[in-house]
Chain A
Amino acid sequence: MGAFLEQPIAAASARAPNWLQAQQSSALAAWQQATWPSRHTEAWKYTSLKPLRDDYLFADEEAAAGSGVEYERFRELAKPVAGTCSLVFIDGVFCADLSSNELPDAIALCRFGEASEEQSTRIQQYLNSALSQDEHLFAALNTATLRDGVFIDIPNDYRGDAVIEVISIAGAQTKPVVSNQRLLVLAGAGSQATVVERFLSAGDPSASFATGVSELLLSENACLKHFRIHEESGSAIHIGGVHTRLARDARLESFHLALGSELKRLDLVVHHDAPGAHAGITGIYLPRGREHIDYHTTIEHAVPHCTTDEVFRGIIGDNATAVFNGRIHIHQDAQKTLAELSNRNLLPSNHAQINTKPELEIYADDVRCAHGATVAQLDQAALHYLQARGVARREAEMMLSFGFINELIDNVELDTFREQLRTLVTERYFQPAKQTQ
């Protein structure tokens, strides 16, 4: 893998807790044996890794400890939007000052660095159990260079309305930094909880590279609402993913939003491990300028009677590029599967590009599967209708684009967060003043 991240990799093992070291060495081996993806690698065909530098460093822990005035400027940014409880990391280093300490009683929540013996045993047992490090190279890199992480252990039958928010801010330092966020969620049998992950960049970010890897393990009949919101901009590069396992009758609702930056690649993987599981996955991507966003999703239906409902929509503006690869793999035993995948794209600009590929691989014969991908411009009839009511063309275009995205936000069941998402998208993407293109 050449000189890429040589220094952080060498320094990593000294920083992580001892009990993680075995996992780190095997991940490091996987990373070192892998070949660097190129355009000839199918999974990376439309996403170039060129924007990555090879001189990223770890952030200084001392500077990021949260006591300095410097980090005070992130207080507003690091406010939880939906959560009653938040953990804030700046360039991968936990910031106690900005985190909220109102932790829900019943939920055992800890950082890897402060895990008790019992907790560390559970983390060791479950970490990497939902992801294949051979297939997901950058997840292996994440494990290999891990120095901290968040472990959320939701007890059986928990039914609180606590919303736990993990906030990662990248690029707060002047040197190019690498950070590795790691989240492990164990949703106990019959539990119901909400977890929000947010990735932000500091006001005027210097180059940063983050690998955010999350594993969500849902036990029998657990119900988890999960949000992963990528708000980074500029040269805040992110390559990460969410890897999920669903036990019998488990129900996952996972919502994804990505605003653009130079390079963003996210792999979402769901394993239906036992009958009756359901995964609802919603995603929105909004690159513009010269930004690039790539979502690769894989749903593994290994057993009968599971359902998947996946909807992704994107607006690709200016010279931006986007990739959507939606794979649903229905194994031979997965009879009675119901799976739907829809990907719709709006291309308001002639120079924008989307590479979309729905991929259905079906080996069972009694299943119902539907998939569709569209690429279109704004509906002329709707534009005319708005204009006929006095709305100027530019504003009409914006209203229609917003409506296209808002339809998905409207379906978010968490009331407070739905409004926040709408505001975020409006302010960051649909603000008239910012539409200079």
Chain B
Amino acid sequence: MLVVKDLHAQVEDKEILRGLSLEVGPGEVHAIMGPNGSGKSTLGHILAGHPAYEVTGGSVQFDGKDLLDLETDERAHAGIFLAFQYPVEIPGVSNMEFLKAAVDSVREQREEPPIDSVTFMKRAREACKHASLPVEFLKRGVNEGFSGGEKKRNELIQMILLEPRLCVLDETDSGLDIDALQVVANGVNSMRGEERSFVLVTHYQRLLNYIEPDYVHVLAGGRIVRSGGKELALRLEDEGYAWLEDEVA
């Protein structure tokens, strides 16, 4: 589904990714861990097409198509969803209008019939329930004045409604208390399926107690230095990243 080959990327002339390669098949859950500054978030931003990140080498294929050729919105249409580490507040635009606009445009591009407002409202309410966010939040400005946890739940609502094929969660667990973490994990688990894949970028093994990954990768110095099963995450939790850095060096 997703094939990243020898990816090099920089932001403001600072090289961050130095030859990252990763393959994600349909239905798989990959966890990407690594120390601060290793390039974890950069990977998510590049997949979503953030304008500040410049790809200087390598390739990213999604369903056999060159992803880097697509605009940000076209990537969303193709089925890529990035749950932001820091979701943006947009005062004055109601959450409901925003969700409807997003779903409408994604469906239009996927040549699916538009959803009428009543059905959409129903779905949005259900998504709120899944994310344990009161429906009143749909009327508020997008993320406006939401707490950290509420913002992450709002990301989950968007993910549920947009029905993406590849979900990249960028440190969605950071700053969440246990309850919120469980809500997000339950949401992800309920969305898992044969055709939908996940890339979980995280600092902490804790998230992986709730979402069991098929693969764990360690990112250091801009590339993946070690891949394994979930036991790798446990070892990292016990021993930190130092042993890996030693090995790589």
A positions within 8 Å CB-CB of B = 379-382, 384-393, 395-396, 399-400, 402-407, 410
Q: Pick from B50, B91, B98, B103: contact of A384, CB below 8 A.
A: B50
A402 touches B50 (CB 8 A): no
Q: Which residues of A contact B91 (CB under 8 A)?
A: 403, 407
**Interface pick from B9-17, B70-78, B202-210:** B70-78
Residues of A within 8 A of B88 (CB): 379, 381-382, 384-385
Is B92 within 8 A of A386, CB to CB?
A: no
Residues of the B chain whose Cβ atoms lie less than 8 Å from the Cβ of A388: 48-49, 72-73, 75-76, 82, 84
B positions within 8 Å CB-CB of A = 48-51, 71-73, 75-77, 82, 84, 87-93, 97-98, 101-103, 105-106, 109, 141, 158, 162
Residue pair B72, A403 in contact (C-beta under 8 Å): no
Contact B72 A406 (CB under 8 A): no
Is B92 a contact of A404 with CB atoms below 8 Å? yes
A348–B178 CA distance with the chains assembled, in angstroms = 43
Bound Cα distance A314, B72 (Å)? 28
In the bound assembly, the distance between CA atoms of A388 and B50 in angstroms comes to: 9
Most buried by A among B49, B72, B105, B106: B72
Chain A's closest residue to B87 (CB) is: A385
Chain B residue with minimal CB distance to A388?
A: B48
B84 engages A385 (CB within 8 Å):
yes
Q: Which of A385, A400, A402 has the most CB of B within 10 A?
A: A385
Q: How far is the CB of A35 from chain B (nearest CB, A)?
A: 43
Chain B residue contacts of A386, Cβ below 8 A = 90, 98, 101-102
Contact of A403 with B90 in the complex, beta carbons under 8 Å: yes
Alpha-carbon gap, A387 to B45, bound state (A): 13
Q: Is the CB of A395 within 8 A of B101?
A: yes
Do residues A390 and B76 form an inter-chain contact, with CB atoms below 8 A?
yes
Q: By the criterion CB–CB under 8 Å, are B92 and A403 in contact?
A: yes
Whether B93 and A402, one on each chain, are in contact in the complex, defined by CB atoms closer than 8 angstroms, is yes
Query: How far is B73's CA from A399's CA once the two chains are assembled, in angstroms?
Result: 15
Would you give the shortest CB distance from B150 to chain A, in whole angstroms? 16
Task: Return B24 CB to nearest CB of chain A, in Å.
Answer: 19
Which residue of A382, A387, A402 has the most chain B CB atoms within 10 A of its CB atom?
A387
A406 to B144, CA, bound (A): 14
B73-A390 in contact (CB<8A)? yes
Contact of B93 (CB < 8 Å), options: A387, A390, A392, A399: A399
In the complex, A389→B74 CA distance in Å?
A: 9
Residues of A within 8 A of B76 (CB): 387-390
B178 to chain A, nearest CB (A): 27
Q: Known: A384-B51, A407-B91. Contact between A392 and B98, CB under 8 A?
A: no
A390, B162: Cβ atoms closer than 8 Å: yes
Closest B residue to A410 by CB, please name it: B92
Q: How far is the CA of A351 from the CA of B118 in the complex (A)?
A: 43
Q: A385-B90, A389-B162 are in contact. Are A399 and B98 (CB under 8 A)?
A: yes
Known: A380-B51, A384-B51, A399-B98. A392 touches B73 (CB 8 A): yes
Inter-subunit contact B73/A407 (CB<8 Å)? no
B90 touches A392 (CB 8 A): no
Give A397 Cβ to nearest chain B Cβ, in Å: 12
- Say yes or no: A406-B90 contact (C-beta < 8 A), given A391-B101, A399-B101: no
Q: Are A406 and B102 in contact (CB under 8 A)?
A: no
Other A-B pairs, 9, CB within 8 Å; known A386-B101, A403-B91: A382-B89, A384-B88, A386-B102, A387-B49, A388-B48, A388-B76, A391-B73, A392-B73, A402-B92
Give A384 to B75 CA distance when docked, in angstroms: 12
19 A-B pairs (CB sep. < 8 Å): A381-B88, A382-B89, A386-B90, A388-B72, A388-B82, A390-B77, A390-B106, A391-B73, A391-B101, A391-B102, A391-B105, A393-B71, A399-B101, A400-B90, A403-B91, A403-B93, A406-B93, A407-B92, A410-B92
